[in-house]
Structure 1
Amino acid sequence: MPQITWEDPFCAEGNNCFRLGTDTSGNAYIAVVGQEDRPITDSLEALRTLILDIKAGKADHLL
C-alpha cells in the first residue's frame, strides 16, 4: 500500500468519522476512521465533490 498522508478526521453528528488522504502520486483516498488500511480510492476531484456534498447535507445517508 502506498504511503498515505491523512487529514484530520471529519465527524458528522451521529455518523461515522472519516478521513481524506493523498499519496505522493496525487491519488486521493477516503476511509472510515480506524479502517485506514482499507481505503476507497478515486480521483481527488471525485472525492472532493463527495465530501463537499456530504458536508452540505446532500449525501449524509451514504456514510
Structure 2
Amino acid sequence: MAEINWEQPYCGEGNNCFRLGTDHEGNAFIAVLGQEDCHLTDSREALQQMIRDIKAGKADHLL
C-alpha cells in the first residue's frame, strides 16, 4: 500500500471533519478525520474536479 500524505483536517460546522491526501502514484484520498484507514480513493483529477464542483455550489444540496 502506498504511503498517503494527508493534509491538515478540514472541519465544517458541527465538527464534521475530513482529510484529503495524495500519494506518489497520482491517487487522491478522502477520509473522515480519525478514520483514515477507511478512505475513498480516486485520481487527483477526480478530486480536483470534486473540489471545483463544491466551490461552484454543485454539492450544496448534500449539506
Same fold (TM over 0.5): yes
More helix by share: 2
Structure 2 SS opposite 1:48: helix
4+ runs of 1 displaced by more than 4 Å?
A: none
Q: Percent identity?
A: 69
SS at match of 2:14: coil
Q: Distance in 1 between matches of 2:34 and 2:27?
A: 20
In structure 1, stretches of 5+ residues that fail to align are none
Size of the aligned set, in residue pairs, is 62
Q: Which has the larger radius of gyration?
A: 2
List gaps (5 residues or longer) in structure 2.
none
Going from structure 1 to structure 2, the CA distance change for 1:12 and 1:58 (only over 3 Å counts) comes to farther
- Taking only aligned residues, the RMSD between alpha carbons, in angstroms, comes to 2.0
